[in-house]
Amino acid sequence: MELIRGIHNIRSRHKACVLTIGNFDGVHLGHSAILSRVKSLAKQYDAPAAIMIFEPQPREFFTPNSAPGRIGRLRDKVAFLADQGIDYILCMPFNPKLQQLDAEAFCQHILLDGLSVKHLVVGDDFRFGCDRQGDFNYLKGFGEQHQFVVENTPSVLNEVQQRVSSSLVRIALEHGDIKAAEMNMGHPVSLSGRVVHGQQLGRKLGFPTANVHLKGVKPALSGVYAVQLLINGECHNGVANIGVRPTVQGKTPILEVHLLDFEGDLYDQYVDVIFCQFIRAERKMSGLEELEKQIQCDKEEAIRFFNNQ
């Protein structure tokens, strides 16, 4: 699987593809249905199976302060999509130049000239182009004019007959319902990143943590969780806080993991953190003494969770 950054890096081998377009945040069951269709069509056409995503996501570009939190980072998204058996991901920088393309220009310059699309598969609520002028009907008409097929995909319903979407997953995470999020995603809720040096506050309080850099991403997850950390093929149980750390006047979201069964140096290593159980919401404590007591309670809660598994 190739990750291609920008349409200017498309080569002849990437063209005449079967394509789908979207944010694919969380890579949930609805996304999986679209990707299955793309792979099936690519096999019929003997063509590359391709995905177009945007970075940042459009709402993060237009309204960064009110855009929804990310279920996963770009790194997580690419990893999940690679596991789906796609040939390449085209990551388009969402910038003023792309934002100014109207629906016709997007179809002509990106889909036709850039990719020579053979078949386009989109979700039933897909919108695109300057001021979101383009929709499925516009795409279908453009495709008919230029000899490529456009089809939409019906909604995927979960076990309780809800339409599966990234918004539904975010709602589950906001309510601390990890099991509901997993049900709609079809895989565990996880974040990956590099372990970086922090303020060493956890170590001073007796709870050393692995600080996972989120690179400025606003996560959909927030609070304290029982987690599992994967490193070099090994799994370790832990308790994690993800948030801005209001007790110490933090401002940037960070993921801090205290491991229950590991001692060692994880700095600069990439790890995967799987969220297993919500423990509590993040809140500001009166000071470090109360924070230390609360972390001990959180640790005990995580131990109880893993002992009951």
The span from the CA of 283 to the CA of 246, in Å, is 7
Helix segments in 108-177, DSSP class H: 136-145, 166-174
Question: In this structure, what DSSP letter does residue 22 have?
Answer: S
| Residue ranges matching CATH 2.40.30.30 in the chain | 189-307
The span from the CA of 170 to the CA of 103, in Å, is 29
| Residue ranges matching CATH 3.40.50.620 in the chain | 2-153
Per-residue pLDDT, 264? 78
If you average pLDDT over residues 208-226, what whole number do you get? Answer: 90
Task: Check: CB of residue 248 under 8 Å from CB of residue 172.
Answer: no
Is residue 287 very low, low, confident or very high in pLDDT (cuts 50, 70, 90)? confident
Per-residue pLDDT, 277? 98
The span from the CA of 309 to the CA of 290, in Å, is 29
- Which residues of the chain form beta strands (DSSP E)? 2-5, 18-21, 49-55, 88-93, 119-123, 149-153, 189-196, 210-212, 223-231, 234-243, 254-259, 270-280
pTM of the model: 0.92
What residues are paired with 255 via a beta bridge? 212, 242
Task: Check: CB of residue 73 under 8 Å from CB of residue 217.
Answer: yes
CATH architecture type of domain 189-307:
Beta Barrel (2.40)
pLDDT for 34-62, tens place per residue? 999 999 999 999 999 999 999 999 999 99
- CATH of 2-153, picked from 3.30.1330.60, 3.40.50.150, 3.40.50.2300, 3.40.50.620, is 3.40.50.620
Q: What is the mean pLDDT of the chain?
A: 91
Task: Check: CB of residue 293 under 8 Å from CB of residue 232.
Answer: no
pLDDT for 148-173, tens place per residue? 999 998 889 999 999 999 999 999 99
Instruction: Map residue 267 onto helix, strand or coil.
Output: coil
